[in-house]
Chains A and B, each alone.
Chain A
Protein backbone atom coordinates (compact mmCIF):
# COMPACT_ATOMS: atom_id res chain seq x y z
CA UNK A 1 0.00 0.00 0.00
CA UNK A 2 2.79 2.30 1.03
CA UNK A 3 4.72 1.39 -2.12
CA UNK A 4 1.72 2.31 -4.29
CA UNK A 5 1.53 5.65 -2.54
CA UNK A 6 5.21 6.22 -3.27
CA UNK A 7 4.81 5.34 -6.94
CA UNK A 8 2.04 7.92 -7.24
CA UNK A 9 4.39 10.56 -5.85
CA UNK A 10 6.44 11.80 -8.86
CA UNK A 11 9.24 13.32 -6.80
CA UNK A 12 10.24 9.97 -5.24
CA UNK A 13 13.60 8.55 -6.38
CA UNK A 14 14.13 4.79 -7.02
CA UNK A 15 16.25 4.46 -3.88
CA UNK A 16 13.40 5.89 -1.84
CA UNK A 17 10.96 3.40 -3.33
CA UNK A 18 12.95 0.50 -1.87
CA UNK A 19 12.95 2.06 1.61
CA UNK A 20 9.71 0.43 2.72
CA UNK A 21 11.02 -3.10 2.26
CA UNK A 22 12.97 -5.31 4.63
CA UNK A 23 15.48 -7.48 2.70
CA UNK A 24 14.39 -11.12 2.65
CA UNK A 25 11.62 -12.72 4.65
CA UNK A 26 10.27 -11.56 8.03
CA UNK A 27 10.54 -15.18 9.28
CA UNK A 28 14.26 -15.19 8.50
CA UNK A 29 14.70 -11.97 10.48
CA UNK A 30 12.96 -13.57 13.46
CA UNK A 31 15.39 -16.51 13.21
CA UNK A 32 18.30 -14.07 12.94
CA UNK A 33 17.10 -12.16 16.02
CA UNK A 34 16.84 -15.38 18.03
CA UNK A 35 20.30 -16.54 16.93
CA UNK A 36 21.83 -13.17 17.77
CA UNK A 37 20.21 -13.25 21.21
CA UNK A 38 21.63 -16.71 21.95
CA UNK A 39 25.11 -15.62 20.87
CA UNK A 40 24.80 -12.40 22.92
CA UNK A 41 24.10 -14.50 26.03
CA UNK A 42 27.17 -16.65 25.28
CA UNK A 43 29.29 -13.51 24.86
CA UNK A 44 28.09 -11.97 28.12
CA UNK A 45 28.72 -15.28 29.90
CA UNK A 46 32.26 -15.39 28.51
CA UNK A 47 32.93 -11.78 29.52
CA UNK A 48 31.61 -12.30 33.06
CA UNK A 49 33.69 -15.46 33.51
CA UNK A 50 36.74 -13.65 32.18
CA UNK A 51 36.15 -10.87 34.70
CA UNK A 52 35.95 -13.45 37.48
CA UNK A 53 39.01 -15.47 36.40
CA UNK A 54 41.25 -13.07 34.43
CA UNK A 55 44.52 -15.04 34.71
CA UNK A 56 43.00 -18.30 33.49
CA UNK A 57 41.37 -16.55 30.53
CA UNK A 58 44.53 -14.62 29.68
CA UNK A 59 46.54 -17.85 29.62
CA UNK A 60 43.85 -19.48 27.50
CA UNK A 61 43.87 -16.60 25.02
CA UNK A 62 47.65 -16.93 24.69
CA UNK A 63 47.22 -20.66 23.99
CA UNK A 64 44.81 -20.31 21.06
CA UNK A 65 46.18 -19.26 17.67
CA UNK A 66 45.65 -15.63 16.63
CA UNK A 67 46.88 -16.26 13.07
CA UNK A 68 44.21 -18.92 12.58
CA UNK A 69 41.62 -16.60 14.12
CA UNK A 70 42.68 -13.82 11.75
CA UNK A 71 42.57 -16.21 8.77
CA UNK A 72 39.06 -17.34 9.75
CA UNK A 73 37.90 -13.72 10.06
CA UNK A 74 39.30 -12.70 6.69
CA UNK A 75 37.87 -15.74 4.92
CA UNK A 76 34.39 -15.13 6.37
CA UNK A 77 34.52 -11.40 5.54
CA UNK A 78 35.54 -12.10 1.95
CA UNK A 79 32.89 -14.80 1.68
CA UNK A 80 30.24 -12.32 2.89
CA UNK A 81 31.56 -9.74 0.42
CA UNK A 82 31.09 -12.18 -2.48
CA UNK A 83 27.56 -13.04 -1.31
CA UNK A 84 26.69 -9.30 -1.20
CA UNK A 85 27.97 -8.94 -4.78
CA UNK A 86 26.07 -12.09 -5.82
CA UNK A 87 22.82 -10.66 -4.42
CA UNK A 88 23.25 -7.52 -6.53
CA UNK A 89 23.83 -9.67 -9.61
CA UNK A 90 20.82 -11.86 -8.73
CA UNK A 91 18.61 -8.76 -8.70
CA UNK A 92 19.72 -8.07 -12.26
CA UNK A 93 19.13 -11.65 -13.32
CA UNK A 94 22.79 -12.27 -14.11
CA UNK A 95 22.67 -15.91 -12.96
CA UNK A 96 25.99 -16.97 -14.51
CA UNK A 97 27.86 -14.38 -12.45
CA UNK A 98 25.82 -15.25 -9.36
CA UNK A 99 26.92 -18.89 -9.64
CA UNK A 100 30.58 -17.87 -10.00
CA UNK A 101 30.43 -15.54 -7.00
CA UNK A 102 28.70 -18.18 -4.89
CA UNK A 103 31.37 -20.75 -5.80
CA UNK A 104 34.01 -18.28 -4.59
CA UNK A 105 32.04 -17.66 -1.43
CA UNK A 106 31.70 -21.39 -0.74
CA UNK A 107 35.45 -21.90 -1.25
CA UNK A 108 36.18 -19.18 1.32
CA UNK A 109 33.69 -20.72 3.74
CA UNK A 110 35.55 -24.02 3.36
CA UNK A 111 38.81 -22.21 4.13
CA UNK A 112 37.20 -21.12 7.41
CA UNK A 113 35.99 -24.66 8.17
CA UNK A 114 39.41 -26.19 7.44
CA UNK A 115 41.27 -23.52 9.45
CA UNK A 116 38.96 -23.91 12.45
CA UNK A 117 39.17 -27.70 12.30
CA UNK A 118 42.96 -27.41 12.20
CA UNK A 119 42.91 -25.18 15.29
CA UNK A 120 40.67 -27.66 17.13
CA UNK A 121 43.06 -30.47 16.18
CA UNK A 122 46.08 -28.52 17.44
CA UNK A 123 44.37 -27.72 20.74
CA UNK A 124 43.04 -31.24 21.31
CA UNK A 125 46.45 -32.77 20.49
CA UNK A 126 48.01 -30.36 23.00
CA UNK A 127 45.66 -31.75 25.65
CA UNK A 128 43.01 -29.02 25.77
CA UNK A 129 39.32 -29.94 25.64
CA UNK A 130 35.93 -28.92 27.02
CA UNK A 131 36.84 -30.08 30.53
CA UNK A 132 40.26 -28.38 30.77
CA UNK A 133 38.98 -25.19 32.40
CA UNK A 134 36.22 -22.56 32.09
CA UNK A 135 38.01 -20.73 29.28
CA UNK A 136 38.21 -23.80 27.06
CA UNK A 137 34.65 -24.88 27.94
CA UNK A 138 33.31 -21.53 26.71
CA UNK A 139 35.81 -21.31 23.84
CA UNK A 140 34.76 -24.70 22.42
CA UNK A 141 31.05 -24.09 23.06
CA UNK A 142 30.94 -20.66 21.38
CA UNK A 143 33.19 -21.47 18.42
CA UNK A 144 31.65 -24.92 17.81
CA UNK A 145 28.14 -23.41 17.90
CA UNK A 146 29.29 -20.83 15.35
CA UNK A 147 31.00 -23.59 13.32
CA UNK A 148 27.64 -25.39 13.02
CA UNK A 149 26.05 -22.19 11.74
CA UNK A 150 28.76 -21.93 9.08
CA UNK A 151 28.07 -25.54 7.98
CA UNK A 152 24.35 -24.74 7.70
CA UNK A 153 25.23 -21.55 5.81
CA UNK A 154 27.35 -23.57 3.37
CA UNK A 155 24.34 -25.78 2.68
CA UNK A 156 22.21 -22.70 2.01
CA UNK A 157 24.87 -21.18 -0.28
CA UNK A 158 25.09 -24.46 -2.18
CA UNK A 159 21.29 -24.43 -2.66
CA UNK A 160 21.47 -20.83 -3.95
CA UNK A 161 24.24 -21.90 -6.32
CA UNK A 162 22.13 -24.73 -7.72
CA UNK A 163 19.16 -22.40 -8.16
CA UNK A 164 21.29 -19.83 -9.97
CA UNK A 165 22.49 -22.57 -12.36
CA UNK A 166 18.83 -23.11 -13.24
CA UNK A 167 18.56 -19.37 -14.10
CA UNK A 168 16.12 -18.96 -11.21
CA UNK A 169 16.95 -15.43 -10.03
CA UNK A 170 15.83 -12.19 -11.61
CA UNK A 171 14.53 -8.68 -10.86
CA UNK A 172 11.24 -10.11 -9.53
CA UNK A 173 12.60 -13.31 -8.01
CA UNK A 174 15.26 -12.70 -5.38
CA UNK A 175 13.50 -12.56 -1.99
CA UNK A 176 14.74 -16.01 -1.01
CA UNK A 177 18.27 -15.03 -1.97
CA UNK A 178 17.99 -11.90 0.20
CA UNK A 179 16.87 -13.98 3.19
CA UNK A 180 19.71 -16.49 2.74
CA UNK A 181 22.25 -13.67 2.30
CA UNK A 182 21.00 -12.02 5.50
CA UNK A 183 21.59 -15.31 7.36
CA UNK A 184 25.13 -15.58 5.97
CA UNK A 185 25.92 -11.98 6.96
CA UNK A 186 24.55 -12.71 10.44
CA UNK A 187 27.08 -15.58 10.72
CA UNK A 188 29.78 -13.09 9.69
CA UNK A 189 28.57 -10.47 12.19
CA UNK A 190 28.64 -13.01 15.02
CA UNK A 191 32.19 -14.07 14.09
CA UNK A 192 33.35 -10.42 14.22
CA UNK A 193 32.23 -10.38 17.87
CA UNK A 194 33.70 -13.84 18.58
CA UNK A 195 37.02 -12.64 17.17
CA UNK A 196 36.86 -9.48 19.29
CA UNK A 197 35.96 -11.28 22.50
CA UNK A 198 38.09 -14.43 22.28
CA UNK A 199 41.11 -13.46 20.20
CA UNK A 200 41.49 -9.68 20.45
CA UNK A 201 40.26 -8.56 23.88
CA UNK A 202 43.10 -9.87 26.02
Chain B
Protein backbone atom coordinates (compact mmCIF):
# COMPACT_ATOMS: atom_id res chain seq x y z
CA UNK B 1 0.00 0.00 0.00
CA UNK B 2 2.69 2.46 1.11
CA UNK B 3 4.94 1.34 -1.69
CA UNK B 4 2.13 1.88 -4.17
CA UNK B 5 1.81 5.54 -3.10
CA UNK B 6 5.53 6.05 -3.51
CA UNK B 7 5.61 4.52 -6.96
CA UNK B 8 2.38 5.92 -8.37
CA UNK B 9 1.67 8.94 -6.14
CA UNK B 10 -0.78 10.68 -8.46
CA UNK B 11 -3.16 7.75 -8.42
CA UNK B 12 -3.95 8.57 -4.80
CA UNK B 13 -2.93 12.16 -4.21
CA UNK B 14 -4.63 14.84 -6.24
CA UNK B 15 -5.46 18.50 -5.99
CA UNK B 16 -9.02 19.30 -7.04
CA UNK B 17 -8.02 22.26 -9.25
CA UNK B 18 -10.99 21.82 -11.55
CA UNK B 19 -13.38 21.91 -8.58
CA UNK B 20 -11.72 25.03 -7.29
CA UNK B 21 -11.97 26.70 -10.68
CA UNK B 22 -15.64 25.79 -10.88
CA UNK B 23 -16.36 26.96 -7.36
CA UNK B 24 -14.59 30.25 -7.75
CA UNK B 25 -16.23 30.92 -11.08
CA UNK B 26 -19.64 30.11 -9.59
CA UNK B 27 -18.88 32.41 -6.68
CA UNK B 28 -17.81 35.19 -9.07
CA UNK B 29 -20.86 34.85 -11.30
CA UNK B 30 -23.36 34.62 -8.48
CA UNK B 31 -21.95 37.54 -6.49
CA UNK B 32 -20.42 39.87 -9.02
CA UNK B 33 -22.29 39.30 -12.24
CA UNK B 34 -23.65 42.82 -11.94
CA UNK B 35 -20.20 44.32 -12.09
CA UNK B 36 -19.27 42.34 -15.18
CA UNK B 37 -22.51 43.30 -16.86
CA UNK B 38 -21.83 46.94 -15.99
CA UNK B 39 -18.43 46.75 -17.69
CA UNK B 40 -20.20 45.74 -20.88
CA UNK B 41 -22.28 48.91 -21.06
CA UNK B 42 -19.60 51.44 -22.05
CA UNK B 43 -17.99 48.92 -24.42
CA UNK B 44 -21.32 48.34 -26.09
CA UNK B 45 -21.92 52.07 -26.36
CA UNK B 46 -18.55 52.63 -28.06
CA UNK B 47 -19.03 49.64 -30.37
CA UNK B 48 -22.52 50.74 -31.43
CA UNK B 49 -21.23 54.21 -32.16
CA UNK B 50 -18.40 52.96 -34.37
CA UNK B 51 -20.39 50.18 -35.99
CA UNK B 52 -23.40 52.35 -36.82
CA UNK B 53 -21.09 54.86 -38.43
CA UNK B 54 -19.16 52.30 -40.43
CA UNK B 55 -22.15 50.27 -41.59
CA UNK B 56 -24.52 53.15 -42.07
CA UNK B 57 -22.32 55.36 -44.22
CA UNK B 58 -22.27 54.93 -48.02
CA UNK B 59 -19.32 52.84 -49.23
CA UNK B 60 -17.89 55.59 -51.45
CA UNK B 61 -17.89 58.08 -48.61
CA UNK B 62 -16.11 55.61 -46.34
CA UNK B 63 -13.50 54.79 -48.97
CA UNK B 64 -12.77 58.50 -49.49
CA UNK B 65 -12.72 59.19 -45.76
CA UNK B 66 -10.39 56.27 -45.02
CA UNK B 67 -7.99 57.36 -47.76
CA UNK B 68 -8.06 60.98 -46.56
CA UNK B 69 -7.37 60.04 -42.94
CA UNK B 70 -4.51 57.75 -43.90
CA UNK B 71 -3.06 60.43 -46.19
CA UNK B 72 -3.23 62.87 -43.30
CA UNK B 73 -1.56 60.73 -40.66
CA UNK B 74 0.80 58.70 -42.87
CA UNK B 75 1.39 59.64 -46.51
CA UNK B 76 -0.08 59.51 -49.99
CA UNK B 77 1.36 56.10 -50.94
CA UNK B 78 -0.24 54.46 -47.93
CA UNK B 79 -3.49 56.27 -48.72
CA UNK B 80 -3.52 54.72 -52.20
CA UNK B 81 -2.72 51.33 -50.68
CA UNK B 82 -5.65 51.75 -48.29
CA UNK B 83 -7.96 52.67 -51.15
CA UNK B 84 -7.00 49.53 -53.07
CA UNK B 85 -7.23 47.27 -50.02
CA UNK B 86 -10.70 48.53 -49.08
CA UNK B 87 -11.88 48.33 -52.69
CA UNK B 88 -10.62 44.74 -52.86
CA UNK B 89 -12.51 43.88 -49.66
CA UNK B 90 -15.67 45.32 -51.23
CA UNK B 91 -15.23 43.51 -54.53
CA UNK B 92 -14.72 40.07 -52.95
CA UNK B 93 -17.99 40.59 -51.08
CA UNK B 94 -16.64 40.99 -47.59
CA UNK B 95 -17.58 44.65 -47.10
CA UNK B 96 -20.23 44.24 -44.39
CA UNK B 97 -18.23 41.64 -42.48
CA UNK B 98 -15.12 43.82 -42.76
CA UNK B 99 -16.95 46.86 -41.41
CA UNK B 100 -18.10 44.83 -38.40
CA UNK B 101 -14.57 43.54 -37.89
CA UNK B 102 -13.25 47.06 -38.21
CA UNK B 103 -15.70 48.27 -35.58
CA UNK B 104 -14.79 45.43 -33.20
CA UNK B 105 -11.10 45.99 -33.84
CA UNK B 106 -11.20 49.76 -33.37
CA UNK B 107 -13.15 49.40 -30.14
CA UNK B 108 -10.87 46.67 -28.79
CA UNK B 109 -7.70 48.60 -29.67
CA UNK B 110 -9.10 51.80 -28.12
CA UNK B 111 -9.77 49.94 -24.88
CA UNK B 112 -6.29 48.35 -24.98
CA UNK B 113 -4.69 51.75 -25.47
CA UNK B 114 -6.84 53.36 -22.78
CA UNK B 115 -5.77 50.70 -20.27
CA UNK B 116 -2.32 49.74 -21.58
CA UNK B 117 -0.67 53.14 -22.01
CA UNK B 118 -1.40 54.54 -18.53
CA UNK B 119 -0.57 51.18 -16.96
CA UNK B 120 2.71 51.03 -18.89
CA UNK B 121 3.58 54.57 -17.79
CA UNK B 122 2.77 53.70 -14.17
CA UNK B 123 4.91 50.54 -14.38
CA UNK B 124 7.86 52.56 -15.63
CA UNK B 125 7.54 55.06 -12.73
CA UNK B 126 6.86 52.74 -9.78
CA UNK B 127 9.05 49.69 -9.40
CA UNK B 128 6.76 47.74 -7.10
CA UNK B 129 3.86 48.11 -9.53
CA UNK B 130 6.06 46.68 -12.28
CA UNK B 131 7.10 43.84 -9.95
CA UNK B 132 3.42 42.89 -9.60
CA UNK B 133 2.33 43.56 -13.18
CA UNK B 134 5.21 41.75 -14.84
CA UNK B 135 4.34 38.18 -13.74
CA UNK B 136 0.68 38.90 -14.53
CA UNK B 137 1.68 39.89 -18.07
CA UNK B 138 3.83 36.76 -18.38
CA UNK B 139 0.84 34.72 -17.31
CA UNK B 140 -1.52 36.48 -19.71
CA UNK B 141 0.85 36.04 -22.63
CA UNK B 142 1.54 32.35 -22.04
CA UNK B 143 -1.95 30.96 -21.55
CA UNK B 144 -3.30 29.79 -24.91
CA UNK B 145 -5.75 32.31 -26.30
CA UNK B 146 -8.60 29.76 -26.41
CA UNK B 147 -8.48 29.47 -22.63
CA UNK B 148 -9.70 33.04 -22.24
CA UNK B 149 -12.97 32.19 -23.92
CA UNK B 150 -14.48 30.06 -21.15
CA UNK B 151 -14.40 32.56 -18.25
CA UNK B 152 -15.45 35.34 -20.64
CA UNK B 153 -18.53 33.38 -21.72
CA UNK B 154 -19.44 32.67 -18.09
CA UNK B 155 -18.93 36.23 -16.92
CA UNK B 156 -19.94 38.30 -19.93
CA UNK B 157 -21.92 35.95 -22.16
CA UNK B 158 -21.50 35.72 -25.92
CA UNK B 159 -21.62 38.20 -28.78
CA UNK B 160 -19.63 41.16 -30.06
CA UNK B 161 -19.17 42.91 -26.71
CA UNK B 162 -17.67 39.91 -24.86
CA UNK B 163 -15.61 39.37 -28.01
CA UNK B 164 -14.17 42.86 -27.71
CA UNK B 165 -13.40 42.31 -24.03
CA UNK B 166 -11.57 39.06 -24.70
CA UNK B 167 -9.68 40.62 -27.62
CA UNK B 168 -8.60 43.64 -25.56
CA UNK B 169 -7.53 41.34 -22.72
CA UNK B 170 -5.42 39.31 -25.11
CA UNK B 171 -3.90 42.29 -26.93
CA UNK B 172 -3.02 44.66 -24.08
CA UNK B 173 0.06 42.96 -22.51
CA UNK B 174 2.57 43.87 -25.27
CA UNK B 175 1.51 47.51 -25.09
CA UNK B 176 2.07 47.65 -21.31
CA UNK B 177 5.39 45.87 -21.69
CA UNK B 178 6.71 48.04 -24.50
CA UNK B 179 5.48 51.32 -22.98
CA UNK B 180 7.29 50.44 -19.77
CA UNK B 181 10.41 49.33 -21.67
CA UNK B 182 10.46 52.39 -23.92
CA UNK B 183 10.21 54.79 -20.98
CA UNK B 184 12.83 52.96 -18.94
CA UNK B 185 15.24 52.98 -21.88
CA UNK B 186 15.25 56.76 -22.30
CA UNK B 187 18.85 57.95 -21.84
CA UNK B 188 19.40 58.89 -18.21
CA UNK B 189 21.33 62.07 -19.03
CA UNK B 190 18.45 63.38 -21.16
CA UNK B 191 16.11 62.89 -18.23
CA UNK B 192 18.62 64.50 -15.87
CA UNK B 193 18.90 67.49 -18.21
CA UNK B 194 15.12 67.93 -18.08
CA UNK B 195 15.29 67.87 -14.27
CA UNK B 196 18.20 70.31 -14.24
CA UNK B 197 16.13 72.85 -16.16
CA UNK B 198 13.31 72.66 -13.66
CA UNK B 199 10.79 70.50 -15.51
CA UNK B 200 7.98 69.04 -13.39
CA UNK B 201 7.58 65.24 -13.58
CA UNK B 202 4.53 65.66 -15.83
CA UNK B 203 6.24 68.13 -18.16
CA UNK B 204 9.27 65.84 -18.32
CA UNK B 205 7.11 62.84 -19.16
CA UNK B 206 5.13 64.69 -21.80
CA UNK B 207 7.82 66.59 -23.65
CA UNK B 208 10.94 64.49 -23.12
CA UNK B 209 10.27 60.90 -22.10
CA UNK B 210 7.18 60.00 -24.11
CA UNK B 211 8.51 61.47 -27.39
CA UNK B 212 11.82 59.66 -26.93
CA UNK B 213 10.04 56.38 -26.09
CA UNK B 214 7.65 56.83 -28.98
CA UNK B 215 9.16 54.31 -31.43
CA UNK B 216 9.02 51.56 -28.79
CA UNK B 217 5.52 52.52 -27.66
CA UNK B 218 4.30 52.57 -31.26
CA UNK B 219 5.80 49.11 -31.77
CA UNK B 220 3.59 48.11 -28.82
CA UNK B 221 0.51 49.67 -30.43
CA UNK B 222 1.34 47.86 -33.65
CA UNK B 223 1.61 44.55 -31.74
CA UNK B 224 -1.72 45.21 -30.06
CA UNK B 225 -3.43 45.80 -33.39
CA UNK B 226 -1.93 42.71 -34.95
CA UNK B 227 -2.85 40.53 -31.96
CA UNK B 228 -6.41 41.89 -32.07
CA UNK B 229 -6.66 40.87 -35.72
CA UNK B 230 -5.20 37.46 -34.94
CA UNK B 231 -7.86 37.09 -32.25
CA UNK B 232 -10.72 37.78 -34.65
CA UNK B 233 -11.12 34.14 -35.75
CA UNK B 234 -10.85 32.80 -32.21
CA UNK B 235 -13.27 35.41 -30.90
CA UNK B 236 -15.81 34.38 -33.54
CA UNK B 237 -16.22 31.15 -31.57
CA UNK B 238 -18.08 33.16 -28.97
CA UNK B 239 -20.30 34.48 -31.69
CA UNK B 240 -18.50 37.63 -32.70
CA UNK B 241 -19.61 38.73 -36.15
CA UNK B 242 -17.29 39.81 -38.93
CA UNK B 243 -14.51 38.39 -41.08
CA UNK B 244 -13.47 35.91 -38.39
CA UNK B 245 -16.91 34.28 -38.52
CA UNK B 246 -16.56 33.75 -42.28
CA UNK B 247 -13.35 31.81 -41.61
CA UNK B 248 -14.91 29.84 -38.74
CA UNK B 249 -17.92 28.85 -40.84
CA UNK B 250 -15.51 27.97 -43.63
CA UNK B 251 -13.64 25.61 -41.29
CA UNK B 252 -16.70 23.94 -39.82
CA UNK B 253 -18.40 23.40 -43.18
CA UNK B 254 -15.21 22.84 -45.17
CA UNK B 255 -16.33 25.81 -47.28
CA UNK B 256 -13.08 26.98 -48.92
CA UNK B 257 -14.81 29.89 -50.65
CA UNK B 258 -15.96 31.54 -47.44
CA UNK B 259 -12.74 30.80 -45.61
CA UNK B 260 -10.70 32.48 -48.37
CA UNK B 261 -12.93 35.56 -48.45
CA UNK B 262 -12.67 35.95 -44.67
CA UNK B 263 -8.95 35.18 -44.61
CA UNK B 264 -8.10 37.59 -47.42
CA UNK B 265 -10.23 40.27 -45.77
CA UNK B 266 -8.29 39.89 -42.51
CA UNK B 267 -4.97 40.05 -44.35
CA UNK B 268 -5.98 43.24 -46.19
CA UNK B 269 -7.14 44.91 -42.96
CA UNK B 270 -3.91 43.82 -41.28
CA UNK B 271 -1.76 45.38 -44.01
CA UNK B 272 -3.61 48.69 -43.77
CA UNK B 273 -3.52 48.77 -39.98
CA UNK B 274 0.14 47.85 -39.89
CA UNK B 275 1.02 50.76 -42.14
CA UNK B 276 -1.21 53.22 -40.35
CA UNK B 277 0.14 52.40 -36.88
CA UNK B 278 3.69 52.66 -38.21
CA UNK B 279 2.79 56.04 -39.69
CA UNK B 280 1.43 57.21 -36.36
CA UNK B 281 4.91 56.61 -34.99
CA UNK B 282 6.45 59.13 -37.39
CA UNK B 283 7.92 62.16 -35.69
CA UNK B 284 7.94 65.69 -36.96
CA UNK B 285 11.50 64.90 -37.99
CA UNK B 286 10.40 61.96 -40.16
CA UNK B 287 7.98 64.24 -41.93
CA UNK B 288 10.76 66.62 -42.92
CA UNK B 289 10.17 69.09 -40.08
CA UNK B 290 6.48 69.41 -40.90
CA UNK B 291 3.77 69.18 -38.31
CA UNK B 292 0.92 66.70 -38.65
CA UNK B 293 -1.36 69.46 -39.93
CA UNK B 294 1.19 70.81 -42.38
CA UNK B 295 0.96 67.70 -44.56
CA UNK B 296 -1.76 65.72 -46.32
CA UNK B 297 -5.15 67.14 -47.26
CA UNK B 298 -5.21 69.65 -44.40
CA UNK B 299 -1.73 70.89 -45.27
CA UNK B 300 -2.75 71.22 -48.91
CA UNK B 301 -5.83 73.23 -47.97
CA UNK B 302 -3.74 75.47 -45.73
CA UNK B 303 -1.26 76.26 -48.50
CA UNK B 304 -4.17 77.03 -50.82
CA UNK B 305 -5.60 79.45 -48.29
CA UNK B 306 -2.32 81.16 -47.55
CA UNK B 307 -1.46 81.42 -51.26
CA UNK B 308 -4.68 83.25 -51.82
CA UNK B 309 -3.96 85.69 -49.01
CA UNK B 310 -1.89 88.20 -51.07
CA UNK B 311 -4.66 88.36 -53.73
CA UNK B 312 -7.31 89.38 -51.21
CA UNK B 313 -4.97 91.99 -49.82
CA UNK B 314 -4.54 93.71 -53.16
Please determine whether chains A and B interact with each other in the same assembly: no
